[in-house]
Chain A
Amino acid sequence: MADSSTRESAAAHDLELAALAASGGRSAFGELIRRHNSAVRALLRRMGADGATADDVAQDAFLAAFEQITDFRGEGTFQAWVKRIAARLYVKRWRRDARGQALAEADERTLPPVAAGPDDRIDLDEALRRLSQAERLCISLCYGAGLSHAEAAEALNAPLGTVKSHVKRGLDKLRTRLAPELPAGDAEEHG
């Protein structure tokens, strides 16, 4: 019985599983966790969280998602929805741990950008490590969690202009690493 239920869950679409979870189906929600935990945890690591913190925040994010599952109406993907929850939770924790440190004052230490050679594999994780923490957060929020600049600014409690400039600087550095053949340009409004 449990096996057939598991098989049905494995074959179901995320939306169906979310609907089952909304009616209290914990096994359906378990399948959603199984499907998307890697993506959520990877995003948190890319935002700068260490492994343990990323897993901790990801767990909290999935628990919060279960609590708010009736808010998920399938306008986007379930994964994108949980990623936004997780990203906001991580930012909250980061701000708390930084004891109110403003984004503009965040650690600006950064490794020098290294242009990728023709034989280099494109490695987003390595490229992100070369950004400052503030740039990394802003880029991850906008391109990893799908937040607009304004939403990222609100989550970070930072001025919109500050977030935009971190995104622009981060994009320039990433381009150097990931796509050196592309000309540098002004970052367009995201979202």
Chain B
Amino acid sequence: MAERNFEFELTRLFGEAPAMPDSEVFTYEVGERLRRGWGWRRLVIGGMGLVGGVIAGLQLLGGGVLERLDMVSTQGGRVVTGAILDAAAYNIAALPMTSDVIWLAAALAAAAIVFAITRVVREF
């Protein structure tokens, strides 16, 4: 029992630490090391992302993906324009809708969705 009491007392004494006078300086130094570490990490991740992006871009250009995309886009544009002209024939819309306007609207909608997702992620 006395032994156990002594062990409790020893644990309590270990728990009593004197306040260090340079506690604030220590806190600042660790904060700086954290900040520097994260700065380097961001730089490395950013650099790797850039390299990956360049490689992906070159692959896309080299693979003729853009030409195929352009072809698909043209065909899609024709279909959409045809549909709009059909609709216009029924006087549903009298707006100057071309395939360019449709694609622009689609791009803006995509940007709006990305913005909304980013905002939601930041909020939660």
Contact = CB atoms under 8 A, between A and B. Distances in A.
Interface of A: 26, 29-30, 33-34, 37-39, 41-43, 46, 55, 58-59, 62-63, 66, 122, 124, 139-140, 143-144, 146, 171, 174-175, 178-179, 182-183, 185-188, 190
Contacts, number: 86
Given A43-B14, A124-B14, A190 B34 contact: no
Contact of B5 (A39, A174, A182): A182
Nearest to B9: A179
B91 interface: no
Interface stretch (B18-26, B55-63, B66-74, B80-88): B18-26
A143 B9 CA distance: 10
B13 A37 contact: no
Interface of B: 2-7, 9-11, 13-20, 23-24, 26-27, 29-31, 33-35, 37-38
Determine chain A's interface SS by DSSP, over half rule: helix
Max chain A Cβ within 10 angstroms of own Cβ: one of B13, B14, B20, B29:
B14
A178 B10 contact: yes
Given A41-B17, A42-B18, 14 more contacts: A26-B35, A26-B38, A33-B30, A33-B31, A34-B23, A34-B27, A37-B26, A37-B27, A55-B26, A58-B26, A178-B9, A182-B2, A183-B2, A185-B2
B122 to A, nearest CB: 11
